[in-house]
């Protein structure tokens, strides 16, 4: 799976404009001859999973349209410390001006993919899928969700418009989870999925009793015993998603309760950027 350049390029250009400021790269202009060329490697300082390699090509070619960019690995593939991810041959001033933007975005996206892969491996052998949330960096959602997918995770909804997700505050305003689901079902088309968050087994029972219930029920901050009981009561009728209190130490036990999906906000809001550098070849 790859993202079209159309979605990535505006992010890259905005980041470049932020870095170039009003006068461009004054250091490169002062120190580097105008006709100098540079061949350099975007190289990993630590092991990880690749995601967002296209940002290097788009950042460098925004500054030098004739740059030669060679990806040495594909998104979704694992790499070792010291491995070259992308080799670039370009106008030296242009490459150095694009360096930080490319490294910032590439390190961020590889970090998300790497953390996601750790969660996916932690639940291997169970039926649970690891999914992201909307807790993404503003402006980077499409890229970060792509990185989650490259790490082996599943994408939750991308925004407010592609699925109904009834949360606790919606429930409070509507007067109950079941009533909120009923209202949603009468308001949206047949292709729109409906998910509702419940915070106890009593709410779960109420929404499962509906003649036309939700497609997905989010079990928010359920303990392990309640998760197991929720799986038993549900008996496969709807998709069960566990959420809250999930980390690498707890995710395996949560998966073993039998839930279908485990959503993890940390995949995007807490993933550390991977250490990647630019080395002259």
Paired tokens of 186:
């009468």
CA nearest neighbour of 214 among 183, 169, 242: 183
Q: Determine if the pTM surpasses 0.85.
A: yes
CATH of 121-269, one of 3.30.70.240, 1.10.150.20, 3.20.20.70, 1.10.940.10: 3.20.20.70
Residue spans per domain, the chain: 5-115+272-280, 121-269
Q: What is the DSSP letter of 274?
A: P
Around Cβ 30, how many Cβ atoms within 10 Å?
7
Categorize the per-residue pLDDT at 1 as very low, low, confident or very high, splitting at 50, 70 and 90: low
CA distance 102 to 254: 37
140-198 pLDDT, tens per residue? 999 999 999 999 999 999 999 999 999 999 999 999 999 999 999 999 999 999 999 99
pLDDT for the residue 281 = 86
CATH classification (class only), 5-115+272-280: alpha beta
| Mean pLDDT across 4-10 | 96
Q: Which residues are catalytic?
A: 100, 135, 167, 197, 220
Residues 219, 195: contact at Cβ < 8 Å? no
Q: Do domains 5-115+272-280 and 121-269 have the same CATH topology?
A: no
96-143 pLDDT, tens per residue? 999 999 999 999 999 999 999 999 999 999 999 999 999 999 999 999
Helix (H/G/I), strand (E/B), else coil: 88: strand
36-47 pLDDT, tens per residue? 999 999 999 999
CA separation, residue 121 to residues 116, 126, 128 (Å): 9, 10, 11
User: HSE on the CB side for 227, CA within 13 Å?
Assistant: 26
CA distance 212 to 24: 59
């Amino acid at each position: 799976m790859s993202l079209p350049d159309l979605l990535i390029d505006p992010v890259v250009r905005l980041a470049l404009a932020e870095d170039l400021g009003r006068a461009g790269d004054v250091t490169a202009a002062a120190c580097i001859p105008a006709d100098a060329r540079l061949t350099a490697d975007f190289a990993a300082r630590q092991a990880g999973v690749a995601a967002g390699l296209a940002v290097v090509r788009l950042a460098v070619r925004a500054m030098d349209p004739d740059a030669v960019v060679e990806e040495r690995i594909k998104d979704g593939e694992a790499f070792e410390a010291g491995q070259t991810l992308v080799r670039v041959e370009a106008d030296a001033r242009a490459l150095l001006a694009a360096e930080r933007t490319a490294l910032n975005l590439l390190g961020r996206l590889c970090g998300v993919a790497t953390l996601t892969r750790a969660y996916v491996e932690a639940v291997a052998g169970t039926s649970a899928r690891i999914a992201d949330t909307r807790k993404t960096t503003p402006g980077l959602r499409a890229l970060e969700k792509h990185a989650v997918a490259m790490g082996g995770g599943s994408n939750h909804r991308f925004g407010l418009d592609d699925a109904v997700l009834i949360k606790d505050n919606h429930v409070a305003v509507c007067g109950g989870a079941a009533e909120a689901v009923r209202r949603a079902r009468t308001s949206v088309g047949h292709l729109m999925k409906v998910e509702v968050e419940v915070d106890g087994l009593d709410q779960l029972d109420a929404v499962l009793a509906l003649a036309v219930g939700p497609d997905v029920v989010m079990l928010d901050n359920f303990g392990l015993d309640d998760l197991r009981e929720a799986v038993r009561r549900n008996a496969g009728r709807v998709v069960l998603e566990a959420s809250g209190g999930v980390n690498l130490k707890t995710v395996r036990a949560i998966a073993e309760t039998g839930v279908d999906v485990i959503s993890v906000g940390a995949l995007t809001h807490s993933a550390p950027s991977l250490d990647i550098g630019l080395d002259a070849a």
